[in-house]
Structure 1
Amino acid sequence: MRGIDRISELVSGGFTLARRLWIIGLALLGAITVGGLLAWQRARHYERLFHLVRLDPLGLAAFGNDPPKPARIVFFGDSRAAAWPAPAGFAIVNRGVPGHTSAQARLRYQLHVSPLKPELVIVQVGVNDLTALAVFADDSDAIIQTTIANLGEIVNQARADGSRVMLTTIFPLGPNGFERLDPATAQIQTAIERVNQAIQAMAAPDVVIFDSAAILADESGYVAERYRDDILHINLAGYRALNEALSKALAELIQD
């Protein structure tokens, strides 16, 4: 009987081990599938932006051909600016273009912002410059310095128009588990921190610094989980957190 019991235990144990191996295998297959889908979606997104930039480098067709109307406040920059909803109680014209770098923003400023004659321009741009470090890692210093210079030139163009500037720090990244394995993620994050230090140094009587990075980041320095949409973008909760602080800042800056 003991022999039969022993055989039963071994068979049962074998089935249990096989079941566990199946579960582990299915879990790995699921993770690989999800990772592949995310990578494919991201690749398609960047391919679309790449071709869009080739077809319309400055986003000339982004806002139609209607004659511009004066606007008191303008959001300006990349996709992060484009997705930024106006805080309650403030009418803001949005001139953000997804995929744009600081160089593209600088070149289109007089086309998209100057004709609006804004009292205040809120600028969020630069992350698309710095994500290029994933490909041009050896050009880190040059890319960082060019980004800083372009931001300074945008400020100068606003000054020439008589506009005040709210220069927002660049949102940090919000990597998922797969992207944390990419060494470029940490390099890009470090570059964002360096540019944000330069942004802080641009504070002046006509340049207000809005530290969006500090609002969104957790203790790791990356965008907090509750605010993440993907590695580059934040969700509506993130924008609500930004607008809570932005509303107070605008109330002090914009006088009726």
Structure 2
Amino acid sequence: MRYCWPIRPDSSSTFAVSTYYPRSASFPLQLGRAILLVCAALLLAACGDRGPARASALPSGATVLVIGDSLVAGTGASRAQSWPAVLAETTGWSVVNAGVPGHTSADARGRLEGLLSELRPDAVIIAIGGNDFLRRVGEDTTRGNIEAMLTASKAAATHVALVAIPEPSMGGQMLGMLSDHALYERLADEHQVALVADAVSETLSQENYRADRIHANADGYAYMAGRVAETLAEAGWLNR
């Protein structure tokens, strides 16, 4: 039996009576629906973090454009010992080294359209940004330039990858603990391209792989090429 205080039939009476009713029988159903909605949201979030779909393997002889700065050009060793040259030997691809020492993301962006039109590459690998960081170019500017390069590359080639560049850190280098600038993971996720993470950071963190503070030596570029090839194989670019 339910009891309540006698009340007058005014606007407050409905509230007074309702507070004494037992919990609705539909409460377990409502709770179950809420749990299902939370689970669905978590599943959607997980799907959004899967990254780009696995690419098809590039055949031997495929044209691969690598655009960047001195770390692409091979400064600290020779162009023949640069990581794009070693990557070509490893994969059998026709790798075009479009690295220019001293170039920023703005410079690379300015060159890219002509290179895409001339070469019509099957794949594009972008490795730029180090000089932006050293010259303290605004992050928004660097981000905008790389975004434009990713968009243009995806429109021109079937395979696109972004090589992460480390955030400048004298302490990190001395301790052998350089780490990628967070900009690159965000850009790769947003544009759904393959991310070559840690290849440059790991190379420049090891003194025996450096020619100077910001460039690799021949052994370093060979190591870097191996890390690039490993990542691209995982992304489906190479049959292993």
Q: Which amino acid aligns with 2:154?
A: R
Q: CA deviation at 1:174?
A: 8.4
1:244 is matched with which residue: 226, 236, 240? 226
Q: Cα offset for 1:79? A: 1.1
1:99 and 2:102 are equivalent in the alignment: yes
- 1:77-100: CA deviation from partner (whole Å, max 9, x where unpaired): 111111133322333111111111
CA contact (8 A) 1:75 1:81 kept: yes
How many residues in Structure 1 have an aligned counterpart in Structure 2? Answer: 160
Separation of aligned partners in 1, 2:104 and 2:201:
22
Shift of 1:206: 4.8
Query: Following superposition of structure 1 onto structure 2, how do residues 53-64 of structure 1 map, counting pairs within 5 Å?
Result: none
Question: Mapping of 1:33-112 within 5 angstroms?
Answer: 72-83=63-74, 84=83, 85-87=85-87, 88-91=90-93, 92-112=95-115
Pair 1:225 & 2:207 matched: yes
Q: CA deviation at 1:167?
A: 0.3
Partner deviation per Cα, 1:156-175 (whole Å, 9 max, x = no partner): 11012134211001145586
**Paired AA for residue 236 in structure 1:** A
Instruction: Work out the CA distance in 1 between the residues paired with 2:185 and 2:70.
Output: 22
Identity %: 29
Q: Does 1:116 align with 2:119?
A: yes
CA distance in 1 between counterparts of 2:138 and 2:98 reads: 24
> What's the CA shift for 1:148?
1.4
Residues 1:125 and 2:119 aligned together:
no
Give the 5 Å matches for 1:203-218: 203-204=188-189, 206-211=192-197, 212-216=199-203
Distance in 2, matches of 1:237 and 1:173, equals: 22
The structure with the greater share of residues assigned to helix is: 1
- Residue 253 of structure 1 aligns to a residue in which SS? coil
Per chain length, whose mean CA-contact separation is higher, i.e. which structure has more relative contact order (CA < 8 Å, sep 6+)? Answer: 2
Residues 23-42 of structure 1 aligned to structure 2 (within 5 Å): none
Q: Which residue of structure 2 aligns with residue 161 of structure 1? A: 156
TM-score of the two chains, using structure 2 as the length reference: 0.58
Task: Tell me, yes or no, if the aligned pair for 2:194 and 2:232 is still in contact at 8 Å.
Answer: no
Pairwise mapping of residues 146-185 of structure 1 onto structure 2 (< 5 A)?
Answer: 146-171=141-166
Specify the code of the residue in structure 2 equivalent to 1:86: V
* Rg (Cα) greater in structure: 2
Which residue of the partner structure matches residue 200 of structure 1? 185
CA contact (8 A) 2:203 2:210 kept: no
Q: CA 1:96/1:116 → structure 2, altered by over 3 Å: closer, same or farther?
A: same
C-alpha distance in 2 between matches for 1:124 and 1:162: 16
Measured at CA, do residues 174 and 226 of structure 1 come closer, stay the same or move farther in structure 2, by a change above 3 Å? farther
Q: Distance in 2 between matches of 1:174 and 1:143?
A: 17
Unmatched 5+ residue regions in structure 1? 1-69, 134-141, 187-191, 218-222
Root-mean-square deviation (Å):
3.0
- 8 Å contact from structure 1 (residues 174, 228) kept in 2: no
**CA separation of 1:216/1:173 partners in 2, compared to 1, >3 Å: closer, same or farther?**
farther
Kept after mapping to 2: 8 A contact 1:165/1:206: no
Offset of 1:109 from its aligned partner? Answer: 0.4
Structure 1 distance, partners of 2:192, 2:139, is 24
Which 5+ residue runs of structure 2 have no aligned equivalent? 1-60, 75-82
SS at match of 1:203: helix
TM-score (norm 1): 0.54
